[in-house]
Chains A and B, each alone.
Chain A
Amino acid sequence: MNKVRFLSMGLTLAAVLASCSTTQSGRVESLIRFPDHLGPNWKTSGKSATYTPETIFEYIDGEAEIYFPYGLKRASSQTYSDGKNVVVADVYEMGSFLDAFGIFSNYRSSTARPYQAGAEGFADDYQIMFYKGPCFVRITAVGTPNDCAEALQSCAQQIDQNLKFESKAPSELDALAVEGINPQSIRYVARSVIGYPFFNRGFAAERMVNNGSVRVVVIPQPSEENAEAVLRAYADFLKKAGASFEYVSDKLTAIDPMYKSVYFERFSNVVVGAINLSDKELGVLAVKPIGQRAAQVFEKAG
Chain B
Amino acid sequence: MKHRDGKFDRRAFLKITTVGGAAAMTLAIPRKGMAEDAAKSLEFRTLGRTEMKVAIVGIGALKITEPAIFQAAFERGVNYVDTARGYLNGNSEKVVGQALKGYRDKVYVATKFKLGTKEHMLGQFEESLRCLETDYVDVIQVHNLKSKGEAMDPVAKEVITQLKKEGKVRYAGVTTHSNEVEVAQALIDDPDNFYDVLLIKYNFQSPPEIKQVIQKAAEKNIGIVAMKTQNGGYQGKEWADVSPHQAALKWVLQDKNVALAVPGMNDLAEVMEDTAVMRAPLLTSEEKRLLERYGAYLEARSCRLCGECNSTCPNGVDIQEVNRCLMYAEGYRDIHLAKQTFREIPAAFSVERCTSCQRCSAKCVRGLDIAARMRRAQELFA
Contact = CB atoms under 8 A, between A and B. Distances in A.
Contacts of B31: 241-242, 257
A68 B64 CA distance: 14
A242 B14 contact: yes
B62 A62 contact: yes
B116 interface: yes
Nearest to A241: B29
Nearest to B310: A25
Given A25-B320, A72-B337, A196 B29 contact: no
B268 A63 contact: no
Contacts of B116: 142
Interface in B112-157: 116, 120, 144
A170 interface: no
B346 A18 contact: yes
A253 to B, nearest CB: 18
B334 A11 contact: no
B14 A233 contact: no
A258 B268 contact: yes
Contact of B29 (A69, A107, A189, A257): A257
A72 B336 CA distance: 11
B340 A14 contact: yes
Contacts of B349: 24-26
Interface string A132-175: 00000000001000000000000000000000000000000000
Given A61-B177, A66-B62, A258-B268, A236 B72 contact: no
Interface in B24-54: 25, 27, 29-31
Q: What class of interface size applies to chain B in its complex with A? A: 35 or more
Nearest to B345: A26
Contacts of B321: 25-27
A114 interface: no
Contacts of A195: 64-66, 68-69, 267-268
B91 A258 contact: no
A45 B16 CA distance: 55
A223 to B, nearest CB: 13
A194 interface: yes
B21 to A, nearest CB: 6
Contacts, number: 153
Contacts of A198: 18-21
A28 interface: yes
Contact of A62 (B18, B177, B268, B332): B177
Contacts of B264: 62, 65
B48 to A, nearest CB: 22
A212 interface: no
B117 to A, nearest CB: 8
Nearest to B336: A71
B90 interface: yes
A51 to B, nearest CB: 14
Interface of B: 14, 16-21, 25, 27, 29-31, 60, 62-66, 68-69, 71-72, 86-91, 116, 120, 144, 177-178, 227-228, 264, 266-269, 305, 310, 318, 320-321, 324, 327-328, 332, 334, 336-337, 340-341, 343-346, 349
